[in-house]
Amino acid sequence: MKIAEEYPGLYEYANFELPQEELFLPGHGLCASCTIGVIARHMLKVLGPDTIVVNPTGCAEVSTVVYPRTNWAVPWIHIAFGNGGSVASGIEAAIKVLKRRGVIDPNRKVNVVVFAGDGGTADIGFQALSGMLERGHKVIYVMYDNEGYMNTGIQRSGTTPFGASTTTAPAGRKVPGNVTHKKPMVAIAAAHGIPYAATANPAYVHDMVYKFKKAAEADGPAFLHILQSCTPGWRFEPKYAIRVLELATETGYWVNYE
């Protein structure tokens, strides 16, 4: 698939061929039509095998690595809910040291990626993320956002939209559901002065792939906020997973920008 052939003149920069090799393997335990798999698969096609994935607790972790099996064909580390940014910072710093000592070829590019949900990013992992961005570590932080703590029963998170009904913010006669607004994570990340921050939507896969490539080439931290449809949490039939994401952008609820 060549991006520029699909979108002539729009993304000349992204005129590259995605490899046939699959680094996010089939057979995972994600819910039917969960778009976490779409995000992870395309992310690794862009970043390639020289990638280390830091995966805090969340839907992706419990569904893609059930001992002794894994769906990640790259180095992968599971860490606690709140320290994705900290662990990635340590890995990135260690790679720099190993390059200086000649253990790793100084010209070899190794991508360090945090792949975390909204709970592990906008809430519990917020402090570690901020520190990572502030210090300028060359880490790609990918937040897949299903707008709630879906893995543990559909509780509200910092990215749950106003009015949404969750188990901890149920819609009723007096309260319309969640009474807070979605945390603007890209604006918060950009406020740290990082070189690249963007939103994406797996329904617009060419745009998402383009942004993975831009993030990988950034000279410093990159932050990607990706909307991710959730069958049980959003309460739709699995066959509509991509359509609801398209509608999010078509209606202006979700804007793809960088």
Residue 198: predicted pLDDT: 98
At 10, is the pLDDT very low, low, confident or very high (cuts 50, 70, 90)? very low
Contact call for residues 195 and 222 (beta carbons, < 8 A): yes
Say how far apart CA 66 and CA 57 lie, in whole Å.
13
197-227 per-position pLDDT tens digit: 999 999 999 999 999 999 999 999 999 999 9
Q: State the sign of the Cα–Cα–Cα–Cα dihedral 7, 11, 12, 15.
A: negative
13-55 per-position pLDDT tens digit: 456 688 999 999 999 999 999 999 999 999 999 999 999 999 9
Contact call for residues 124 and 65 (beta carbons, < 8 A): no
DSSP 177-238: S--SPPP-HHHHHHTTT-SEEEEE-TTSHHHHHHHHHHHHH-SS-EEEEEE---HHHHT--G
Tell how many helices (H) and how many strands (E) occur in the chain. Answer: 9, 8
Answer whether residue 82 shows pLDDT above 70. Answer: yes
Residue 18: predicted pLDDT: 87
Phi first, then psi: give them for residue 52, nearest 5 degrees. -110, 125
Whole-prediction pTM value?
A: 0.93
Say how far apart CA 8 and CA 116 lie, in whole Å.
33
- Radius of gyration of the CA atoms of the chain, in A: 18
